[in-house]
Amino acid sequence: MFEHTHQLRVRYAETDQMAYVYYGNYAQYYEVGRVEAMRSLGLSYAKMEAEWGVMMPVMKMEIEFLRPAFYDELLTMVTTIPQIPGREIVFESSIYNEKNKLVNKGKITLCFVNINTKKRVDVPEQLLEKMKAYYV
């Protein structure tokens, strides 16, 4: 199964007055995890929009929060794509703190949309090709 690891440091702006990372900010972290996972496959999400005319809106997000993350922590995000994508693509992300404790984990489902028609399309061939190697 495809798996990618990326590190990210908590910004001051991302904390709230509980001194926790605000729960809504993890969606951004997951986005970074997804994009870097794709980049590691040789795929640029920016090019996907600009050159292939395909964008990937989120359809579903589920996050379970186990413990807070704090300012300036260097978080480790593990992103996997548990099954080969079709009409949808699912990313699962787990975020660990510096003590290697699980901060939270999320499952994000996205679809593929033609940027011009705004209609749903299948997973782009180029993305599918890159993924196939991981799901023999």
Q: Which residues form the interface with a copy of itself (CB under 8 A)?
A: 11-13, 15-20, 22-28, 31-32, 35, 44-46, 49, 55, 57-65, 68, 71-72
Shortest spacing between CB 83 and a copy of itself, in angstroms:
20
Instruction: Quote the tokens at residue 51.
Output: 């050159």
Query: How are the residues of the chain apportioned to helix, strand and coil, as percentages rounded to the nearest 5?
Result: 25, 40, 35
Shortest spacing between CB 112 and a copy of itself, in angstroms:
13
Q: Which amino acid is at 84?
A: I
Q: Are 16 and 87 in contact, with CB atoms under 8 Å apart?
A: no
Instruction: Quote the tokens at residue 56.
Output: 């990937």
Shortest spacing between CB 132 and a copy of itself, in angstroms:
25
- CB-nearer residue toward a copy of itself: 18 or 136: 18
